[in-house]
Every structure is written in structure tokens, then in C-alpha cells.
Amino acid sequence: MKRAPTLKNAPDLKKNMPATVDTSHTSNEPTSPAVSALRSRVSSMTGNTIILPVCGRDVTFKLVVIPAERVERATMVWAGNERDQTLLTKEALDDLIPSFLANGQQNPAFGREVNGITEVADGSRRRMTSIVTHSDYRVLVGDLDDEQMQWLSEIGNDYRPPSAYERGKRYARLLSTRFDGNVSQLAEAENISRKIITRCIKTAELPTEIIRLFVNPNELSARAGEGLAKTYASNADALFAFAKNLAARQAAGEIFETDDIIQQLHDVALKPGKVQASERKFGAGIKAKYKGDAVSFQLKGVPQELVKQIEDLLEQHQREQQAATVRVIDESITEIDTVVTAIRAAADSINYRITQNETQALIPFARTVLAGTKNDEDKQRSIAVEIESRYVI
């Protein structure tokens, strides 16, 4: 069943933001008390400012309306937000796009201003929906520190929790930076089981190319993701190649259910059983043997003209293979040079001297960013944010 086209229990802010907002309607309470409290306060705000408690401290927020044509350039998602922005496709935003197209943004995001850019803690999905639908973007901007940004980011995810893949990325980062690899301490801090944490971390080991096969990353559970990660580890090349093929078929209009995608990926890694050989005759003295993808021909007493024709075909095929190989190598070298140049430029933009090993580790992420639809400035900013989250912060 499709989700409702608006966020669950979102405050009903009218498109032009009148002085008062009608709150006479009733709805079920959100699952998070913190979200419920914010929703109640924001829905009853008057004017363009409101004071809200964040982490026990009152913060004065001002409602800022960013014109549609400036949203992508004038805003960015806070680096601590665990949601993977590269996975926010039109399909993944299908619960928001209808309401944005019909009435615009119904509830504001939360963030702060940094060097003239609005940095968003809660509202990255609404930000991308504004970009996709060419809608104005409404943000409550306040003087927030990192602790408050983290809190707003976490409670914002109660509307649609991050996927196992996205949570796994955050858990792995926390294990490395705060918990010295101690899964038990992290499990206690997050108030979840060790098993869930390890499953999410295994899921996060999958390449983005596989995660993007799913309409929404939330479709891949931690349990299924762990199993798929183990399969990928045993036959990475085959799964990666098949994922690219499946993505091309999806782009051509084919639709695959979640379970079907998972099963096909598992099937690719299975070792083939013993292949039976077969034989076919093409007249007197000509015989072909087939075994799997191997074919052998036996020619006896055939005209030299036929042999010459076969040799000509094989030589033509050889030339085509050589030319294709050269093209692939040239394209790969050019692509890697472009990706590495982009990584170094992003590192220079934040005055960080990136090492060769760090550059190599960033290539898969940077390749995905560069393949996106953002402009060059935003691509560089996204890579710079990733560099900061991995190596600076």
C-alpha cells in the first residue's frame, strides 16, 4: 500500500505562511514524544519567529523561505545527517512529491546558517523534494550548535527512519570514532541489540550501485542486507557487473520487486553445476561441439573458400575486440582522472591535504556523486562534506 502523500502528523503550514494556522483538526500522535512536542508548537506559531527548546535550551527560530531556483545552491545537508542523499530519487520521495506539487511544502525543515548557506539538520528529504518539484523550501533557521543539530536530525528521522544501509554507515563511523570498536558499548548507547548493529554494518558494506537497485533503500532490511553482503563478499565482481546490467534494464522500463532483486543477486553468485556437452553437425566434414560458453569446430575435407570465410570473420571479430578494449581502457583512465581531480579539488576547497589512500577510498563515492544531476559546485560541495565526515571531523 502506498504511503500517504504528506508526512505523518506534519504541521499544516499554508503555502504563503499566514499569521495564524488552523489547528482545529485532530490526528494521531507521532511515535516520538519529541516530534509531537515540536509539531504542536510549530503548528500554533504566529508570525515568522518561534522559540523552541532544543536539547534543554531555548532557541529562537526564524522562518526563511528559499525560492525554488536557489534551493540547491543556497542550502546543504548537515554532515552529521545519516541519510544518504545520493539515494533520494524521485521514487524514494513518492510520499512527498504529490503534496509538494499540490500545495507546496507543508511543514518546515530545521537548520542553521553557516557562511551564508542554510545547513539543514532535519528536512533533507523535503529539501530534495523541493529541488525535484521546483518548489520553494521553508526552513526554521536558528543559532544551533552541533549537539542541537544532531538531536534535530535524529528526531526528524522519525517520519521515515533511515535504511539499514544508512544506519550501518553511521554505526561503523561511531565504532571507529567514539567506541573504539566496542559493539556492546554502541548497542547500549543506541539502545538496540548487537545483532541489529552488526547486520546494519554488514549491509553498509554493499556498494551504492546495488543499493540503488531498490526503489527505496528502506526496502532492503538489515537481515536481507547482511545476507546479500556475504554473497557480495564471495563474488564481488559478478554481483557488481550484474547490478549494472540490472540498473540498465530498470532504466529501460523494467520493474523488479524487492524479493526478485535480492534473489537474482544471490543467484548470480552461485557456482554453476557441471555443464553437459552437446554436438551439432553442419553437413559432411563439419562438426561443432558446445559446452557452456565454449564452442569448438572440427573441419575436415571442406573447401578452402569456406575456411577463408571463417578466418575473415574471426579476424574481423578480433579487430573489433581490440578496438573495444582500447576504448574501455581510455574511457576508464579518463573517468578515474576526472574523479581524482574532483576529489582533490574538493579537498583543496576545505584546505585539507588528502592522502593517496584516502583519495582511492573516496573514488566509489565520488563517482556516484559525479554521475548525479547536481551542478559542478554542488558536486564538489558533496564530496567535500564526505571528506570532512570521514577524515576531518
Last residue of a domain, one of 119, 137, 161: 161
pLDDT for 369 equals: 86
pLDDT band at residue 20 under the 50/70/90 scheme: very low
User: Could you report the per-residue pLDDT of 304-317, keeping only the tens digit for each?
Assistant: 888 899 889 989 98
Class of residue 180 by CB neighbours under 10 A (exposed 0-12, middle 13-18, buried 19+): exposed
Q: Is-contact 214 259, C-beta < 8 A?
A: no
CA separation for the pair 228, 202 (Å, rounded): 9
Residue 8 CB neighbours (<10 A): 16
Residue 75 — pLDDT band, cuts 50, 70, 90? very high
Same domain, 219 and 352: no
- Contact present, 146 and 80 (Cβ < 8 Å): yes
Alpha-carbon distance of 383 to 377, in angstroms, equals 10
The grid cell for 132 is 525535484
**pLDDT surpassing 80 at residue 197:** yes
Whole-number pLDDT of residue 79: 83
Asked whether residue 182 falls in the same domain as residue 233, the answer is: yes
Residue 316 lies in a domain: yes
Contact status, residue 220 vs residue 205, Cβ threshold 8 Å: no
Distance in angstroms (rounded) separating the CA atoms of residues 54 and 28: 23
pLDDT tops 70 at residue 287: yes
Distance CA 378, CA 71 (A): 11
Of 25-29, 257-261, 299-303, the one with minimum mean pLDDT is 25-29
pLDDT at 46 over 80: no
Amino acid identity, position 359: T
Are residue 149 and residue 167 in the same domain, yes or no? no
On whether both 168 and 149 belong to a single domain, the answer is: no
pLDDT at 42: 66
* pLDDT tens by residue, 211-245: 989 888 888 999 999 999 999 888 888 888 888 88
Residue 255: predicted pLDDT: 82
Indicate if 2 and 78 belong to the same structural domain.
Answer: yes
155 has a pLDDT exceeding 70 = yes
User: Does the pLDDT of residue 207 top 70, yes or no?
Assistant: yes
- The reply to whether 109 falls in a domain is yes
Mark whether 211 and 193 lie in a shared domain: yes
Element (H, E) at 372: none
Provide mean pLDDT across the span 24-51.
57
**Where residue 35 falls among pLDDT bands split at 50, 70, 90?**
low
Q: Is the pLDDT of residue 173 over 80?
A: yes
pTM of the model: 0.50
Asked if 66 and 209 sit in the same domain, the reply is: no
CA-nearest of 87, 114, 316 to 220 is 87
Q: Is-contact 61 51, C-beta < 8 A?
A: yes
Asked whether residue 280 is assigned to any structural domain, the reply reads: no
Pull the grid cell for residue 110: 530545521
Q: What is the pLDDT of residues 330-360, one digit of tens each?
A: 777 788 888 899 999 999 999 998 888 888 8
Confirm whether 25 is domain-assigned.
yes
Evaluate if residue 62 carries a pLDDT over 60. Answer: yes
- Indicate whether 8 and 76 sit together in one domain: yes
292 found inside a domain: no
Same domain flag for 176 and 232: yes
pLDDT over threshold 80, residue 41: no
Q: Which residues face 141 on adjacent strands?
A: 62, 111
Domain end: 136, 161, 186, which one?
Answer: 161
For residues 203 and 148, membership in a common domain is answered with no
Q: Round the average pLDDT of the chain to a whole number and report it.
A: 81
Q: Which helix (H) or strand (E) holds 14?
A: none
User: Does the pLDDT of residue 275 top 60, yes or no?
Assistant: no
Among the listed residues 261, 269, 270, 213, the one whose alpha carbon sits nearest the alpha carbon of residue 237:
269
Alpha helices in the chain (DSSP H): 33-43, 71-74, 97-103, 124-133, 146-156, 164-177, 183-190, 194-203, 208-211, 222-234, 236-251, 258-269, 304-349, 356-370, 376-387
Q: Which of 4-8, 129-133, 370-374 has the lowest mean pLDDT?
A: 4-8
**Contacts with 271 (C-beta within 8 Å, 6 or more apart), sequence order:** none
Give the pLDDT of residue 137: 94
Q: Return the pLDDT at 102.
A: 86
| The length of the chain, given as a count of residues | 393
Q: Is there a single domain that holds both residue 35 and residue 143?
A: yes
Cα dihedral: 327, 331, 333, 336 (round 10): -160
Q: Are 216 and 331 within one domain? A: no
Burial grade of 278 (CB within 10 A; 0-12, 13-18, 19 or more) = exposed
CA atoms of 356 and 342, how far apart (whole Å): 14
Tell me the C-alpha distance between 120 and 77, whole Å: 5
Number of domains in the chain: 3
Instruction: Report the pLDDT value the prediction gives residue 145, as an integer from 0 to 100.
Output: 92
Element at 53 (helix H, strand E)? strand 49-54
pLDDT of amino acid 349: 92
Q: What is the pLDDT of residue 272?
A: 55
Q: Please determine, for residue 9, whether its predicted confidence score (pLDDT) is greater than 50.
A: no
The answer as to whether 18 is a domain residue is yes
288 within a domain of the structure (yes/no): no
Task: Let me know: does 81 contact 167? Beta carbons within 8 Å.
Answer: no
Given 137, 161, 185, the domain boundary residue is 161
Let me know if residue 283 belongs to a domain.
no
Give the pLDDT confidence score for residue 29 in this predicted structure: 40
Expressed as residue numbers, the domain containing 34 is: 1-161
